[in-house]
Amino acid sequence: MTILFDLDGTLIDSTEAILESFGVSFKEFDLKIPSDDVIKSFIGYPLEIMYKELGIKTENIADIVAIYKKHYREISRKKTTLLLNAKEALEEASKFAVLGVVTTKTKRYSLELLEYMDILRYFKVIIGREDVQNPKPHPEPILKAMDILDAKIEKTWMIGDTRMDIESAKGANIQHCAVLCGYGNIDELTMNGNLIFLNTLEAIKYIQKL
């Protein structure tokens, strides 16, 4: 059995760090900062897509992303926490499955956060934004993780909090479920997948029973 996890909104809560970093980057360009709700509605997409959707011109995206990343790295450890029951979920899942992370977050920062929170040891593979050409919702990140782990399609699950996670899993032809502890809209999640749980531990308990 293989279980792949999204990161933000599935295992960790870095909302404060994300919003603050967006604020700093918009201020640097002397631009009006979007509301928290608008920014949160795009969490799960790669930063370059988030900034494009938030109205940043294409020629400025690389520079504003660099500002975001610099600030985010400075504050991410202090302003990121594990979601409720996330560590318990990983402890339970590791008893019967090989675990991996598939995220649109930069792998470098993901590794730092996972190690800082003492959960990096649970994972055999971490796939970040820089590891693929096509991020979620494309299936490439999941397929790359599966290839590294030599995972079988019929024995692989993806757990995430947004429709990008579910669409990526569907594209990879693997089983999937959504959690409500993150950024996904429940209506979108209901449309894109019929297995929805309050948190990751509930999802793991369901998979364990199968």
Residues 46-93: tens digit of each pLDDT = 999 999 999 999 999 999 999 999 999 999 999 999 999 999 999 999
Q: What is the CATH number of domain 15-75?
A: 1.10.150.240
Overall average pLDDT of the 87-107 stretch: 97
Given a contact cutoff of 8 angstroms between Cβ atoms, the answer to whether 138 and 171 are in contact is yes
Mark residue 116 as left, alpha or beta (left: phi above 0; alpha: psi -120 to 50; beta: remaining). Answer: alpha
Q: What angle do CA 169, 155, 193 make, to 5 degrees?
A: 35
Q: Does the pLDDT value for residue 196 go beyond 90?
A: yes
Three-state DSSP class for 4? strand
Instruction: Give Cβ neighbours of residue 172 (< 8 Å, ≥ 6 apart).
Output: 139, 142, 143, 146, 153, 156, 158
Q: Does the pLDDT value for residue 128 go beyond 90?
A: yes
Q: Residue 191's pLDDT band (boundaries 50, 70, 90)?
A: confident
Q: Does the pLDDT value for residue 200 go beyond 70?
A: yes
Which pLDDT belongs to residue 193? 66
Three-state DSSP class for 33? coil
Cα–Cα distance for residue pair 187/176, rounded to 1 Å: 17
What percentage of residues in the chain have a pLDDT greater than 90? 93
Domains of the chain, by residue range, sit at: 2-13+81-209, 15-75
Q: Is the peptide bond before 141 cis (omega within 30 degrees of 0)?
A: no
Q: Residue 43's pLDDT band (boundaries 50, 70, 90)?
A: very high
Which pLDDT belongs to residue 118? 95
Which of 6, 8, 161, 165 is an active site residue? 6
Overall average pLDDT of the 92-112 stretch: 96
Which pLDDT belongs to residue 68? 97
Cα–Cα distance for residue pair 159/199, rounded to 1 Å: 10
Of 74, 141, 101, nearest to 9 by C-alpha is 101
Active site residue 6: yes
Q: Does the pLDDT value for residue 189 go beyond 90?
A: no
Instruction: Tell me the fold of 2-13+81-209.
Output: Rossmann fold (3.40.50)
Cα–Cα distance for residue pair 29/27, rounded to 1 Å: 5
Q: Residue 187's pLDDT band (boundaries 50, 70, 90)?
A: confident
Three-state DSSP class for 2? strand
Which pLDDT belongs to residue 155? 98
